[in-house]
Structure formats: C-alpha cells, structure tokens
Chains A and B, each alone.
Chain A
Amino acid sequence: MSANSERRVVVTGLGATTPVGGTMTETWESILAGRSGARPLPQEWLDEYELPVTFAATLQTKPSEVLPKVEVRRNDPAGQYALIASREAWADAGIENVNPERFGVAIGTGIGGVWTLLDQWDVLKEKGPRRVFPLAVPMLMPNGPAAAVSLDLSARAGAHCPVSACASGAEGMGLAAKMIRDGRADVMVAGGTEAAMHPLPLAAFSQMKALSTRNDDPTAASRPYDINRDGFVMGEGAAMMVLESEEHALARGARIYAYLSGVGMSSDAYHITAGEPNGEGAARAMVEAVEDGGQQLSDVKHINAHATSTPVGDLAETKAINRAFGDLTPGIPVTATKSMTGHLLGAAGALEALITVLSVYHRTVPAAINLVDKDPEINLDVVTGEARALPDGDITALNNSFGFGGANVALTFRSV
C-alpha cells in the first residue's frame, strides 16, 4: 500500500462463470486439473459464416441454467454473466450488513453488449423499429453490467465501468481498490465481464490474425510460450471479487483471502493494437504496482502472466518482466492460465486476478498446459506439469493485463 494511505484493501469474496466452470470453485478445480475450456463453435455459425476459426472457449454453464427467465431476457449476456459471478462473490464474502452509500461497483468490459447490438440490428432490418427491444440501450451500453449488479445488490457509492479492452477487468479491480483507499467506499464488487461470442467479433479477431487456427486440436490451441503458439483462443465469462477495507472486514470477522496491495497502470502510446515490443510500458506498470504496495521487487514470488499465446505478445511480456525484475526474473514462477480458460478479453484480467488470489491463499501455482516445446526466447520459469507450491511467510504475487489501445494494468496480491 502507498505511504500516503492508511486504508488497506482486502479480498473477501470470489465469484466467476468461465469456460472451465460455472462457479469460481469449479473453475479453480478445473485449472488445478489442467482442463481446457476450448470446444467447437455452433455448426450453424461455421456453415453460415465460414469462420476461419471453428472453436472457442465458450461458457461451461449456460446462464439460462442458473438465472430466472426474465433476467436472461432483460440482460445482455455480458450482464447475465456479471450477475452470476457477483452473486457468487457476494455470497462467498458473507456480508450481512453494509451501508449502501459506502458500497460500490466497478465492473469493466472490453466490448460491452455486442450481442444485443447486433441482434437488435437484425430485428430492425427484419421486423422494423417497433419490434426493437425497448431495453436494447441499457443492454448494449458497456456500463449495463455494472448497473445491473449495483441494482441487484443495492450498491450506491458508484457503479463504474472502466473500458480498456483486455485490461478492463483488472482496471475495474484497481479502480475499486483506489475507491476504498480514498475513502469513497468500504466495500466494492469489482471485476470484469465479456460476452463477445458472436460471429462478428470472431471474424474481426480472425482478420487481425490474432486467433489460433488450430482447428484440428482446440484444447491444444492456447499454448502460451510454446514455440508453436499461433494466437489466442477467444473466451467469454465474468469474474468478480468483493473488496473491503481491512477495517470493515476485520470488524465483521471476515475470511480474508489476500490483500489487494498494489495497483500499477500505464499506457504505451506506441500502436493501436500491438504492445510496445520491449515492454517498457508494461514494465512500468509492474514496478508501479509493487511500489504502490510499499514493497520491493524481491517480494514478488509469483507472476500470473497476461500470456495470451500470440507469438508477439508473449515475447513482449517476457521482455517486460525481465525489464522490471532484472536478475530476479529466473527465480519467479510464472503461470499462464489462458492456456486453459482461453482469453476472456475484458474479463480476462479479473479472472486471472482471482486465480492469483487463490494461488496466494492456497500457496499453489497452477501449471500452464500445452507448453510442449518452449520458445528459446522465453527465459521465464513457467510452471508446467504439476502445480508448484509457494513458500510460507509473507508473499506477494503479481498479475498482468494488457489491452488494445496500449493499456497496461498490474495488480499485486499479498498474503495475509
């Protein structure tokens, strides 16, 4: 935590719906077991649109299996996922009483209600303006999920939606932590949600050559750091954490998973999509996060990397880690959980932050899968094969998230 702040931020609740689990508990078990969430896309999409990529990491549990029919109807999938994840996180935190005016929401998304936007455009063309759903605007607006969660939980200190592409979820958590530190809130639900599993975003990412085309072997397609990596696997889902001021959590005797100890953010101003190849901006975010937590680089005992499995991105992040940590780099176990979950875009940083929290809490780093033939330019200690134990005592782990537009967000989580 920064020297000028007296309020420390703790993590007391976790929730998620992901390609490898309908809850955070299921997701964590799948990740420890090395399961991939990649599966074939609906056949009709492939037939109708001739998509060059025929698989993705789609949700394991459909929202319609969990939510009442009316909530499914009145929320974009991005909002549905956010509701599912935030309710799990809220129940997990077990908060019985909170002052609504001291309770806020910060839920990022990369793309927002793209499904509603495109679906309602079809409705307009096919059936005319009177058939356009009156809730289309609140469903497609990026802050729709944050608003839905704030309504659901009666959070009145603010309902924010940071948008920074694939760093959005991490930025939501960073913003939430800063709100608590600044005294604007005692409790926050924070994270990210993304539901862009639609032929258009799939086609657009394909056109950027950002997606893996390993159509004959989907579960092996997301392979960060492997010499044969060829792009990311598109994912979807949501991940949320309940953050509290330490004082608030201690007063109610809460179970504390970890401190959200530091937040670092920067922007590259280099290229609209490519990260700066030497990792200068990303390294600044990492160092800033560690310093923001009042810590030393040598305190970092684990990194959950952004590691999307693109040839360029994984290498740039590796350079950034080396730039930030220097000689300490080889001693830091790194994992790349997108190898299993795929890339949840605006929810990715949030999900990986949750995994990082559980890694600290259980002192266990889950292994990355599909790393068969390591790229010789990657000099990181990537955890593969079996999970790796983290040391006892005071430990800190760092999580990176980077987004199109040059956004870099690093978060640190410290053991209790």
Chain B
Amino acid sequence: MALNENEILAGLAEIVNEETGVETDAVEMDKSFTEDLDIDSLSMMTIVVNAEDKFGVRIPDDEVKNLTHVRDAVNFINSNQG
C-alpha cells in the first residue's frame, strides 16, 4: 500500500537521522539538505540508497541533484513508489 506524504517524511527523517545524526524533528518539508541540514553529497548518496530500499523506488543519480529540499525528495518518492 502506498504511503502518504507524512509517512514518507517520517521515514526519510529516520534515514537522515541514522546517517547524519540530525534530529528527526528537524527534517521538515521546506528544509534544504545542504543549507539547513548540513548534509554533504557523500551522505546524500547513502540517504538516497537507503531511501530506495525503504520505499521501493529507484532514484537515478541524475535525479539526485534535483532533490535540494526535503519536499523534493518526499514528492519524488510519493510519485514513484511501487
């Protein structure tokens, strides 16, 4: 069953926390991964791969550069989840 936006956000926040130590509460829709959450490109790669596993989506490398804000990632997962 497809997850709703809030469930995806919560799941993504867990991945971000696991990888970077950023508190899950801080992972909000309008936050920028790099500017607000201080996540570098290496950590972003791991977050992407873990998100693929968790949500059953494929996020192409070319797409990752477009995911600048948490909302972008949530929307991408939402519209591509299996």
Contact = CB atoms under 8 A, between A and B. Distances in A.
Nearest to B20: A70
Contact of A70 (B19, B42, B45): B19
A69 interface: yes
B33 to A, nearest CB: 14
Contact of A133 (B20, B21, B46): B46
Interface of B: 18-21, 42-43, 45-46, 49
B61 to A, nearest CB: 9
Given A134-B42, A135-B42, A70 B49 contact: no
A130 B19 contact: no
A253 interface: no
A131 B53 CA distance: 10
Contacts of B46: 133-135
Given A134-B42, A135-B42, A73 B49 contact: no
A69 B42 CA distance: 17
A73 B18 contact: yes
Nearest to A136: B42
A134 B18 contact: no
Contacts of B18: 69-70, 73
Which of A68, A69, A134 gathers the greatest number of chain B CB atoms within 10 Å?
A134
**What 6 A-B pairs have minimum CB-CB distances, sorted nearest first?**
A70-B21, A134-B42, A134-B45, A134-B46, A135-B42, A130-B49
Interface in A50-75: 68-70, 73
Contacts of A135: 42, 46
A131 B49 CA distance: 7
Nearest to A131: B49
Nearest to A135: B42
B76 to A, nearest CB: 17
Contacts of B42: 134-135
Given A134-B42, A135-B42, A69 B21 contact: yes
Contacts of B43: 134
A68 B46 CA distance: 18
A73 B21 CA distance: 10
A135 B20 CA distance: 12
A73 B45 contact: no
A73 B42 CA distance: 13
B67 to A, nearest CB: 15
Interface string A67-96: 011100100000000000000000000000
A393 B28 CA distance: 65
B59 to A, nearest CB: 10
Contacts of B49: 130-131
Nearest to A71: B21
Nearest to A137: B42
Given A70-B20, A134-B43, A134-B46, 15 more contacts: A68-B21, A69-B18, A69-B21, A70-B18, A70-B19, A70-B21, A73-B18, A73-B19, A130-B49, A131-B49, A133-B46, A134-B42, A134-B45, A135-B42, A135-B46
Contacts of A70: 18-21
A130 B48 CA distance: 10
A70 B43 CA distance: 11
18 contacts: A68-B21, A69-B18, A69-B21, A70-B18, A70-B19, A70-B20, A70-B21, A73-B18, A73-B19, A130-B49, A131-B49, A133-B46, A134-B42, A134-B43, A134-B45, A134-B46, A135-B42, A135-B46
A8 B20 CA distance: 42
A70 B15 CA distance: 11
Contacts of A69: 18, 21
A16 B21 CA distance: 25
Contacts of B45: 134
Contacts of A73: 18-19
A135 B42 CA distance: 7
